[in-house]
Chains A and B, each alone.
Chain A
Amino acid sequence: MTTETLIRPADETVAKPLLSIAGLQVRYGRTHAVRGIDLDIMPGESVAILGESGSGKSVTGKAVMGLINSPGKVGGSVEFDGMQLVGRSEAALRAVRGPGIAMVFQDSLDALNPVFSIGNQIIEIFTVRLGWSRRQARDEAIRLMLQVGIVNPESRLDDYPHQFSGGMRQRICIAMAIALKPRLLIADEPTTALDVTVQAGILKLISQLQRDSGMALLFVTHDLAVARQVARKLVVMYAGRVVERGPINAVFHRTAHPYTRALLGSNPGSVKHWSELKPIAGNPPDKSAVFTGCAFAPRCPRAVRMCSDREPDFVTVADGRQSRCHFAQEMFDGR
């Protein structure tokens, strides 16, 4: 597979998803980080994966890029533009990384190499991946830095990552991610490490870049309010599985899964007064646990005997709305 076929305009594949995840599993020995995920992303679509820490949401993003290191084991299927990525050689994956799928990480200080200047790190992308001359790459680096909102980019090319603020660093990470014009951008909690005021700017930037370039976006977060600002579709994860999915505003206004509802109830932004906050009782399940029923049952206010005996399948409660709960329809109908 060459880079050319990857960046081919997808006009004949309009109806086909750009990224198709089916039964994705990630295991570290007996620890199950991801226990079977199905997820489609259409070209240009923006999808948020929502979940608490340990739900497997970040691992999913890394697995799509083929960044799960040994001893981690990946199973299932990840198809990008019709090409199976799971089990591919590192050389084949390299062609996809960058122009196919790019990634922005949570901690920008950790994500940038401390011993190379910012300019060096951006320029390297073009000289190495596209074979450009240094001068041409430098011009493009300056243009990119302007695009993501770095003031006076020319004078900052020789600065090192530690000389930038957290927000500016994340902007640089975004610039590096979009440098090769990816068709899918995976953003793994890109604003979690930032101040709220800086957060808004970064979210706006990501939304704007996504709209302008038409790339698809997979946004990983634990914050529903943040997800609503950048994504149209929502996927809620719990214990390594998808529990609910649908258009983000629809899910927000009318949940069809007890976990999603509990998550909303525990979010300070969704209640009028902090005294109304309802933390979710108990803890997320152990990752090496084996479930016979629903993984959320032990913490679920609605759980009955059946819940811990039999795992629920997806129930389609409305057009484009699915929930993995025995009481999905009742939840959706407000009963």
Chain B
Amino acid sequence: MLKFLSVRLTTSLIALMGVMVIVFFLARLTGSPASLYLPVDATDAMVEAFNRQNGLDKPLVGQFADFVVNALQLDFGQSIAQQRPAATAVLSAMPQTVLLAAIAMGLTLLLAIPLGTFAALRPNSALDRGITLFSLFTASIPDFWFALVCVLIFSVSLGLLPTSGQGSLSSWVLPVATVMLHPVGVITQVVRGAMLETLNAGYVQNARARGYSWRRLAFRHALRNAALPIITVAGDRAGGMVNGAVIVSAVFAWPGIGKVLVDAVYNRDFAVIQAGVFVVGIAVILLNILVDLVYAAADPRIRVS
């Protein structure tokens, strides 16, 4: 297991380095920060001074060499827009994002697992059809549209929830709901499919022959075996929640990593873009390792091999 994890970690870090290289050059395709931060009638001397101050005066290869040397020491440079270290700007937004993702994923599983299980317990029943319809809806509705309509109904018309920002508990409702929207539908269907298979497995029939209740059969004997595909998809979706939630940042001005990244792109704040991608990359790697550990906890056959 340890060997497996260290191999996983190594390959992940190599992938992350590749991503960092790509991001470095992609960011510079957006244009020069100087034209954004300096007045239109700035003199060549002013531009030169600005570039020198922000380390943009060297040729691209030189900038890249600086970036690599500093990044290896976990120094991602200064944010031009915020006038503070880029890493600080990114990390200060991280708790909002992680908390939002954790709450949303928790609620998603809390909703999707019972829904998928009940659908699988009575396949093709009215309940199953209703649940399937619901999950198809949530998986298919565009999330930005859902977010806007929710703001329109609950914030503008009814005045129940705030339109944006993050403060009181009620400000969490719409962002969490928006982030959950697609995962709930997708994971409900994954749970249903996996449970359909395991509920008909020999060991569940055998457990039934020992006189156990349907609750015990479904939630203990079948669910644990259905866990692997559920964990896989949930892990993937959790990664999506961590690395973006861009819709949430755009519609609700949610002060998470998504907003920091989007602002950084608009502001040509290269250092923040690079630091942000790095931090999100690390978060996704950690998430994948967590998924591997949960795999092993769920299925003893993985633990041995």
Contact = CB atoms under 8 A, between A and B. Distances in A.
A261 interface: no
A114 B301 contact: yes
Contacts of A116: 224
Interface string B216-244: 10000100110100000000000000000
A234 interface: no
B206 A111 contact: yes
- DSSP majority for the B interface? helix
Interface string A92-113: 0111111100110101001111
A113 B201 CA distance: 9
A142 to B, nearest CB: 19
A299 B298 CA distance: 52
Q: With a 10 A CB-CB cut-off, give which of A65, A116, A163, A176 has the most chain B CB atoms.
A: A116
B147 to A, nearest CB: 39
A110 B210 contact: no
A107 B202 contact: yes
Interface in A65-113: 65, 67, 69, 90, 93-99, 102-103, 105, 107, 110-113
Contacts of B301: 114, 160, 162
B170 interface: no
A15 interface: no
Nearest to A161: B203
B299 interface: yes
Contact of A113 (B209, B213, B221): B221
B70 to A, nearest CB: 47
Interface in B158-215: 200-214
A67 B209 contact: yes
B300 interface: yes
B217 to A, nearest CB: 10
Contacts of B213: 94
Given A115-B298, A160-B301, A162-B301, A110 B211 contact: no
B210 A113 contact: no
A129 B213 CA distance: 10
A116 B212 CA distance: 16
Interface residues of B, number: 25
A125 interface: yes
Contacts of A113: 203-204, 207, 221, 224-225
A90 to B, nearest CB: 7
Contacts of A14: none
Given A160-B300, A160-B301, A112 B203 contact: yes
A128 interface: yes
B210 A95 contact: no
Nearest to B199: A69
A128 B209 CA distance: 14
Q: With a 10 A CB-CB cut-off, give which of B203, B204, B209, B225 has the most chain A CB atoms.
A: B209
Given A94-B213, A98-B211, A115 B300 contact: yes
B201 A103 contact: no
A191 B203 CA distance: 17
Contact of B211 (A111, A117, A129, A160): A129
Closest 7 CB pairs of A and B: A110-B202, A97-B211, A98-B211, A113-B203, A111-B206, A94-B211, A103-B209
17 contacts: A67-B209, A69-B200, A99-B211, A105-B206, A110-B202, A111-B202, A111-B206, A113-B203, A113-B224, A113-B225, A114-B299, A115-B227, A116-B224, A117-B300, A128-B212, A129-B211, A162-B301
Interface of B: 200-214, 216, 221, 224-225, 227, 298-301, 304
Interface of A: 65, 67, 69, 90, 93-99, 102-103, 105, 107, 110-117, 125, 128-129, 160, 162-163, 173, 176, 179-180
Given A115-B298, A128-B212, A180-B211, 4 more contacts: A94-B211, A110-B203, A115-B224, A160-B301
